[in-house]
Amino acid sequence: MGVSDQRTVTVTDAQGTWVLPGHAKAVYFVIKPRGYRTPVSEDNIPRFYYLHNDTEPLNLEGATIPRTGSLPESIDFPLMPQQEPDRFDAIFIGDPQPRNHEEVTYFAHDVVEELVGTTAAFAVTLGDITSDRLDLYDHINQVTGTVGIPFFNTPGNHDANYEGLDTYDHYETWRTVFGPRYYSFDYGPVHFVILSNVLFPEGGDDYVTGLGRDQLEWLEADLYHVPEHHLVVLSMHIPPWRADRVPDLRRLNELLRDRPHTLSFSAHSHNISQGFLDESAGWSGANPHYHINAGAACGRWWGGARDETDIPHATSSDGSPNGYFIVSFDGNQYSARFKAARRPADYQMQIQAPDQVEQGRLADTSVFVNVFSGSRGSTVEMTVGGSDEWIPLEFAPQEDPLYARVTERESGRRASTSFHMWEGRLTAGLTPGGHLIRIRTTDIFGQEFTASRIIRVLDDLP
């Protein structure tokens, strides 16, 4: 199995012995192999690392690593056997991002409570665990700890000690709670990599998007030990095509492009989008790479009117509900589906059409469909009034008209472009009375979802 110091990777011998260079400060960690589990905290945070600091503790507002003294003669990582089948589910959650304890409870009641009892093997959060409130880590970990599965965490731009002098310092408090800011582990036949693509140039408190030389060298060493036919799944906070450091993105492409099975996740944008990356997004090579921007558990920062349970509706600015993704893995294959918070599993779209329309205006009346986790590769079709003919709708990224009205009324803020909107026209010749619009969509994984909306056709006005 592999052991790392976040700079390189070594492999243990038959007795489990490993050797890595000593450093004044470092995080040493085991790369969890298939068929084993590491210890977890009482809140189900994986404990697979050793924090070392033989320097003066940093002077920061958040928790810091005390001086640990010289390295011990041996650092041991306990591993316990567990069954890890080829087929399993994992949960990916973007930006919980609470600003206070009240918003932690929104996250608890809106998202986490429905996860209790899940059959997923583990969950991955995709950064911005809180919103510049590192003191909320204990509360949010106590919430996610009730689910009963390990939560692996990804650092975001709002998870930093802003008074740090460089990127390492900025994630000091993170290390005291979650361990290394980038690492990897195996589950079943899949290799999972947590990346940290938020960098703080020395002496500043503003960030840039990139990976940095040390992390890229570590990733190369990590992937060296992963068989080429295995699926590699990357998790990061910011979508890779937003990289300020273009050479970092180019090098990431080089490390992955010859692998036939890769997948990645991000968050940060508080919108949902997905698809195969192309050259405009920094990807080249014969093997396609699929990326899912998973949106945010907090939606538009826990905004919007409160419902009957006193929780804001938290709709994202692209009109999608807040929620998370459930990913089913099968060997080196996978499928992903979106789950809206506190909604049925088949709630996958919002149909928008007038409640009533005059008969003569049918052919000029638009139907909009926001397929929350749709992509350019999805098909969306419509049938109206009992017809057996399915009419293809046009992929039409734009502001969600319904959410645009809602957010203007609630806050005066604009909607953002939704990259999962489709548009069509009603069928001419419908008779006056009630009619049913039916929509069906099929995603790139072959998953089909349906929804309906009732409209009323009126006689033309004299």
Best CA proximity match to 123, nearest among 149, 148, 162: 149
What is the distance between the alpha carbons of residues 353 and 425, in angstroms, rounded to a whole number? 10
Is residue 301 left, alpha or beta, with left meaning phi > 0 and alpha meaning psi from -120 to 50? left
- Pairing mode, if any, of strands 421-425 and 366-371? antiparallel
Residue 204, pLDDT score: 67
Which residues, in sequence order, are CB contacts of 100 under 8 Å at separation 6+? 133, 136
Nearest of 375, 311, 384 to residue 351 by alpha carbon: 384
As a CATH number, domain 349-458 is 2.60.40.10
Are 98 and 136 a contacting pair, CB within 8 Å? yes
Pick the CATH number of 80-340 from 3.60.21.10, 3.40.190.10, 3.40.50.150, 3.40.30.10: 3.60.21.10
- Shared fold status for 80-340 and 349-458: no
Own/partner pairs, 256-259, CB within 8 angstroms, 24+ separation: 256/232, 256/285, 256/289, 257/283, 257/284, 257/285, 257/286, 257/287, 257/289, 258/228, 258/285, 258/287, 259/223, 259/228, 259/232, 259/287
364 three-state secondary structure: helix
Buried residues in 422-444 as b, exposed as e (16+ CB within 10 A): bbbbbbeebeeeebebbbebebb
Q: What is the pTM of this model?
A: 0.96
pLDDT mean for each 10 residues of the chain (462 residues): 94 90 93 97 98 91 92 94 97 98 98 97 98 97 98 97 91 97 98 97 84 96 96 97 89 94 97 91 86 97 95 97 98 98 97 96 96 96 92 97 96 95 94 96 97 94 64
Reported as type and span, the H/E element at residue 173 is helix 172-178
Measured between alpha carbons, how far apart are the two ends of the chain, in Å? 80
Per-residue model confidence (pLDDT) at position 156: 97
Are the C-beta atoms of 450 and 347 separated by less than 8 Å?
no
Maximum C-alpha span of the chain: 93
Q: Which amino acid is at 174?
A: W
Estimate the crossing angle of helix 213-224 against helix 246-256, to 10 degrees: 0
Domain locations in the chain as residue ranges: 80-340, 349-458
Ordered DSSP codes for 43-106: T--B--EEEEE-SPPP--SS--PPP--SPPS------EE----SEEEEEEE-----SSHHHHHH
Predicted pLDDT of residue 206: 87
